[in-house]
Amino acid sequence: MEDGFEYQGEFYRWSVTDIGKDLMLIDRFSGLPIQEFFELVDDDHERGRGPILLTLIACSVRNGHPDWTVERVARLVMDLNLGDVTFVNGDEQEVAGELPPAETATNGSTGDASPSSPKSGSSDPAEEPSATSSATPA
């Protein structure tokens, strides 16, 4: 199983890309410049902060529903109760209440990246050849 979370019976794998909708969600939820957000999301402690976690959830939901508008994703995330979210670590069994590593794809337009700790797209392409840049486990 991949890293991600389950909400309302649907599994979402962690995903953050540099496509327009994700960039709008990053701005709306974190309020940070894009580069600063991608630097913070690499940090395990910072990733657990409310605005960063909500941004990761929003971008992952958007990836799971690419046809949804930014407004629809934002409403869902603003209305969710974290107690109703089950975080899933693909290497272990489901663990409610723990924050698993997120994944980030920054140079692709599809949001398809392998599950791993988030990185800002600065990982060495030789580490994992793919159409998108993805992170290596921390």
Q: What is the pLDDT along the chain (138 residues), one digit of tens a residue?
A: 689 999 999 999 999 999 999 999 999 999 999 999 999 998 888 888 999 999 999 999 999 999 999 999 999 999 999 999 999 987 754 444 445 454 444 444 334 333 334 433 333 333 333 334 344 343
Query: Where do the DSSP E strands lie in 1-138?
Result: 4-7, 10-13, 85-88
Question: At a CB cut-off of 8 Å and minimum separation 6, what does 124 contact?
Answer: none
pTM of the model as a whole: 0.67
Grouping H, G, I as helix, E, B as strand and the rest as coil, residue 60 is helix
Question: From CA 129, how far away is CA 132, in angstroms rounded?
Answer: 8
In this prediction, residue 121 carries a pLDDT of 38
- Specify the 3-state DSSP secondary structure of 36: helix
Given this model, what pLDDT does residue 92 score?
58
User: Nearest-5° angle of CA 95, CA 101, CA 104?
Assistant: 140
3 within 8 A of 14, measured Cβ to Cβ: yes
